[in-house]
Amino acid sequence: MKAFISYSHRDSGALERLHVHLASLKREGRIEAWYDRDILAGDELDAEIKEQLESCGLFLLLVSPDFLASDYCVETEMNRALERHDARQARVVPIIIEPCEWAASRLRALKALPKDGKPISDWTNPNTAYLNVVQELRRILHHEPPASVPKGNTTAAPDKSDAAEQSAPERRYRVRREFDDIDKAEYRESAFRAIRSYFQSAIKELDSVEGLRGRFTDYSDTSFGCVIVNRGLGHGTAHLTVHGGRGKHHFGDVYYSFSEDAAENTANGWFSVEADEYELHLKGSVGFSHNERRMNPETAAETLWAEVLQQAGISYD
């Protein structure tokens, strides 16, 4: 899906970070991001922007005080995006990057990202906020039907071939292939790194919450651990050790124990790398609630994080 990114040039740093975090979705062919830097020298700025406003099916608004203060961002880009959103021709997603009065604008009726509309700048680790944004975008892209194409000027009969091209839904092509042991090993290593990064960021975020404490520890290149303490409960402590890599114990590709610095020959559960005819994915161990779900590394990390929090008597929306 083609996404129009609307932003104030004063927020170019946030734009660059968003592009970094969108890399996986771009690589998978799930999203194509457009913003005004894609305009070539010599092109007419307003004409090109207006053309993209009419053709993109997704609008990502990087909302900040500077964005709301920009007449062009609000009156031209945001207002047209919301008109197409209301007509069910596109979807608008506000991404709050700095504290501002976005809830007093027309955006108040929309669900804002990151979680609860908390500005990215207020997160202990901004990468955690961007991860939440990307996870929600992935969910949107999975469920979103192709946007309808607005009707053009009907005073002249359009060329039939052009009309067919305009009304054709955007397609994502999947190519069958076989995955060898090297592909699976590389995916396992990548999945372990993604899960470790998720927990490292999540622990930093949790440690900033009053009444909670968290500590992340790297044991080696292929193992890490964390401990979570809920000071509101006498026994509100949870431990986790995660190992990556298939060893002699054959637990799985990424396996974990709910104990501190657990040995490699113990596991309470694991994620295994599996493949269908099109792509690699993870599946959880038998006996756990997530065992039948196929997951990407980020979803696996979020599922395991929720289990650890539950053991410490913590829940979150």
Q: What are 85-132's pLDDT values in tens digits?
A: 999 999 999 999 999 999 999 999 899 999 889 999 988 888 888 988
pLDDT number for residue 40? 41
75 pLDDT exceeds 50? yes
pTM over 0.85: no
- Mean pLDDT in the chain? 82
Q: Let me know: does 131 contact 201? Beta carbons within 8 Å.
A: yes
Distance separating alpha carbons of residues 2 and 91, to the nearest angstrom: 11
What mean pLDDT do residues 229-236 have? Answer: 83
Judge whether 169 lies within some domain: no
**Residue 213 φ/ψ, nearest 5 degrees:** -135, 150
What mean pLDDT do residues 43-63 have? Answer: 83
Say how many domains are in the chain: 2
Distance separating alpha carbons of residues 116 and 32, to the nearest angstrom: 26
User: How far is the CA of 1 from the CAs of 33, 57, 174, 202, in angstroms?
Assistant: 8, 7, 15, 29
Contact residues for 150 (Cβ-Cβ < 8 A; gap 6+): 54, 84, 87, 89
Q: Are residues 195 and 75 in the same domain?
A: no
Distance separating alpha carbons of residues 16 and 22, to the nearest angstrom: 10
pLDDT number for residue 82? 94
What mean pLDDT do residues 200-208 have? Answer: 87
240 pLDDT exceeds 90? yes
Q: Are residues 133 and 8 in the same domain?
A: yes
Domain of 131, in residue numbers = 2-147
Judge whether 156 lies within some domain: no
Q: What pLDDT band is residue 250 in, cutting at 50, 70 and 90?
A: low
Q: Are residues 17 and 142 in the same domain?
A: yes
Determine how β-strand 58-63 pairs with β-strand 91-96.
parallel
Dihedral sign of CA atoms 292, 174, 18, 82 in order? negative
Percent above pLDDT 90 for the chain: 40
237-244 β-sheet, strand order: 212-220, 223-230, 237-244, 254-257, 269-275, 280-284, 294-295
Judge whether 186 lies within some domain: yes
The residue among 24 and 18 whose pLDDT is bigger is 18
Q: What pLDDT band is residue 48 in, cutting at 50, 70 and 90?
A: confident
Q: Let me know: does 52 contact 34? Beta carbons within 8 Å.
A: yes
pLDDT number for residue 215? 95
Judge whether 165 lies within some domain: no
pLDDT number for residue 209? 82
Listed range (32-36, 248-252, 277-281) with the worst mean pLDDT = 248-252
Distance separating alpha carbons of residues 124 and 160, to the nearest angstrom: 54
